Amino acid sequence: MTYKPEILAPAGNRASFLAAIAAGADAIYCGLKHFSARMAADNFTLGDLASLTELAKSKGIRVYIALNTLIKFDEIAIAGKTIDILNKHVKPHALIIQDPGLIELIEKTGFKGEVHLSTLSNVTFPAALKLFTSHKSIKRVVLPRELTIDEIKIMATACPRDLGLEVFIHGALCYGVSGRCYWSSYLGGKSGLRGQCVQPCRRVYNFENRKERYFSCRDLYLDVLVKPLLDVPKVKAWKIEGRKKGPHYVYYTVEAYKVLRDLDSYPAEDKTRMKKNALSMLEQALGRPGTNYFFLPQRKRNPVSLEEQTGSGMLAGSVKTVEKKLYIAPRTKLLPGDLLRVGYEDKPGHRLEKVRRFVPKKGKLFLSGGKKTFAGIPVFLIDRREKALNDTISTLEKSLSPSSDIDISASSFAVKERVNAKKSNTSNKGKITEHHVSRRPVKKKVRGEKGIWITKDFTLEPGISRDCRLWLPPVIWPDESDAFADLISGLVSKGFSKFMLNAPWQAALFQNPKKIDLWAGPFCNIANASAIRYLKILGIKGVVVSPELDKNDYYEIAKTTPLPLGIVISGNWPFCVSRTFSDDMDTQKPFDSPRGEKAWAAKHGSLYWVFPNWEINLEHEKSSLSRAGYTFFVNLNEPVPEHVKMIDKNEVWNWKMGLK
């Protein structure tokens, strides 16, 4: 086999990093204590990374550092210094980024490695790939988990010569499309785009008096299905998700996929045995039940299944009682040091329990008890520390160089943002535009400009004039790309010139974007002036900033923006946007959480949108925002289903509480 994709292993702590080395991973990705989209992982200090990266390089293993969060205006300077220090002292092979504002910073610091665009950056259709040819440092795009093998091949065919693709092959699935989920942020300020997600999609919801985990996904398991990827040389890496996982998971998933990748190199008489060994290793990797999701277009699998437990870890059994004592009869052997999770975090009786002795399969392990623990509660094996693997990790750890004390304050790199006086004083003279967005043409007169969402099947209806701004969806899939390009070309030829992009890369769908009135919409997740400067290069004329920001963020970004700014001032904002929906629910019908938060789902085009039954309302801040420099105020109008009762919460999202 001349083409050999790298097996890319996750590492959220030192033990997992060393386990990846022990397993012979080709590359390892990890994050810092900040700017990481997996902040719940332990992550690394700069000193730790320097010594670990040195060891990995000595073994011929590449190291990629994830700086893949949304960057706020006040973090740009720190991000620049961090990149500068990484370049000088850690020297990783690549940085994984989400925020387009970091592209400018990386180039200014002179970073010598590659740049990989995270799946959170939402590069989802082939035409977008051509935008990165002008950046010599951008070498890879991480594709969404939702793609079929046919769509991956479409992306590969469109991939420029010096650009490669990366595909997830194993690990946890998010219900929402990456970069298009605001559920955690909307309910409590902890943003998934900033690595703080509290996973509200994993919770129990009530639909028509049936309480289930309607949005909790099984894990992605491609296992033997990875073979078709070997026919796609543009896929440079097979990525294993799991920076919150322990060394056992990392070691066995890497070992398993190495075998599956290299199966054709084994003698014919050994192939069946090696394949079985690989599948056995994946079964013991302590993951949730698996699914191949949408990978096979002819056999798509809904990742949500109410028939299976979807708690993190491997289901080890359920709590039983004998003579008022609690125990489990495990479905697999348990080893000393194993870590069990009893129940779900959002349910009574939840706790962690460490195994102190060997317990055979179907033996008895008595539990320490605990309040509200009762028979029937599921128990999950979430971490394992076998002696052989621990010994290997200990041996590798002894070969590490001493961790040096590296701090970003040692960097002399400086970012100087130019304050725009016209945007920062109270004498704003810009034209104020009220913009009202709907799904269908609105017959009644509104003050200001009208906007309408379009799908690939969009047709002009009475009431849609050339003055209407047309909103592209937050995700365009590879099999929709040509249809959207043809649609846009036809609309432009008919005189339509105002469009709202909801991923920056959608500018690639326009033949001459600089002659069109293109704005970057709120789903572009823009939160700093560096990102806005990048959008300006793409020919974008204005930006509706991220609706996740807080009061201070909104005012500060207005001081340094090189483009006109807009804001979502009121209306229906979704918890998330997804490519799938539970077979046990209906769209257009309400459901609610244990806390009484009500919502509904609607399908528009190829996407499912999940909306709460309350609206954003920042109307009372309009005057001060206008004085700060905002000139474009967006009102989102979503058709509310008949059985959904809207409430008035005076929702201001993160305006007061701050974005974490």
The model's pLDDT over 510-547, given as tens digits with 9 standing for 90+, comes to 998 888 999 999 999 999 999 999 999 999 999 999 99
Phi and psi angles of residue 284, each rounded to the nearest 5 degrees, phi first: -95, 10
CB neighbour list of residue 164: distance below 8 Å, 6 or more residues apart:
139, 140, 141, 234, 235, 236, 237
Average pLDDT over residues 390-418: 89
**Domain check: are 281 and 291 in the same one?**
no
Query: Does the residue 396 lie in any domain?
Result: yes
Among 44-48, 583-587, 619-623, which is the least confidently predicted range?
A: 44-48
**Domain check: are 114 and 235 in the same one?**
yes
Q: What is the DSSP letter of 365?
A: E
**Number of folded domains that form the chain:** 3
**Domain check: are 265 and 154 in the same one?**
yes
Helix locations, 594-637, DSSP H = 622-628
Average pLDDT over residues 460-477: 95
A 10 A CB-CB count for 637 gives 17
Q: How far apart are CA 52 and CA 517, in angstroms?
A: 48
CA distances for 353 relative to 339, 366, 577, angstroms: 6, 11, 36
**Domain check: are 264 and 302 in the same one?**
no
Query: Does the residue 650 lie in any domain?
Result: no
Query: Does the residue 591 lie in any domain?
Result: no
CB neighbour list of residue 346: distance below 8 Å, 6 or more residues apart:
202, 203, 204, 594
Which amino acid, one-letter code, is at 340?
Answer: L
Percent of all residues in the chain with a pLDDT value above 90, rounded to a whole number: 81
**Domain check: are 367 and 482 in the same one?**
no
β strands within 534-621, DSSP E: 542-544, 565-571, 576-578, 591-592, 598-604, 607-612, 616-617
Query: Does the residue 374 lie in any domain?
Result: yes
Query: Does the residue 128 lie in any domain?
Result: yes
**Domain check: are 299 and 249 in the same one?**
no
**Domain check: are 324 and 240 in the same one?**
no
Average pLDDT over residues 84-88: 94
**Domain check: are 291 and 271 in the same one?**
no
Q: What was the pLDDT predicted at 40?
A: 59
pLDDT(425) > 70: no
**Domain check: are 464 and 511 in the same one?**
yes
**Domain check: are 526 and 463 in the same one?**
yes
pLDDT band at residue 340 under the 50/70/90 scheme: very high
Q: What was the pLDDT predicted at 371?
A: 67
Q: What was the pLDDT predicted at 423?
A: 47
Q: What is the CATH number of the domain that holds 25?
A: 3.20.20.70
pLDDT band at residue 350 under the 50/70/90 scheme: confident
Query: Does the residue 326 lie in any domain?
Result: yes
Write the pLDDT tens digit of every residue in 282-335: 988 998 889 999 999 999 999 998 988 888 889 999 999 988 889 999 999 999
Quick one: which of 637, 576, 658 has its CA closest to 174? 576
**Domain check: are 402 and 459 in the same one?**
no
Query: Does the residue 208 lie in any domain?
Result: no
pLDDT(422) > 60: no
Measured over the CA atoms of residue 623, residue 624, residue 625 and residue 627, the dihedral's sign is positive
Highest mean pLDDT among 254-263, 277-286, 347-356: 254-263
Q: What is the CATH number of the domain that holds 301?
A: 2.40.30
CA distances for 646 relative to 4, 613, 640, angstroms: 54, 5, 8
Average pLDDT score, the chain: 93
Average pLDDT over residues 132-158: 96
pLDDT(396) > 50: yes
What is the domain range of residue 297? 287-383
Q: Which helix (H) or strand (E) holds 389?
A: helix 387-398
Query: Does the residue 281 lie in any domain?
Result: yes
Tell me the pTM: 0.94
pLDDT(494) > 80: yes
Q: How far apart are CA 169 and CA 144, in angstroms?
A: 11
**Domain check: are 334 and 437 in the same one?**
no
Write the pLDDT tens digit of every residue in 142-154: 999 999 999 999 9
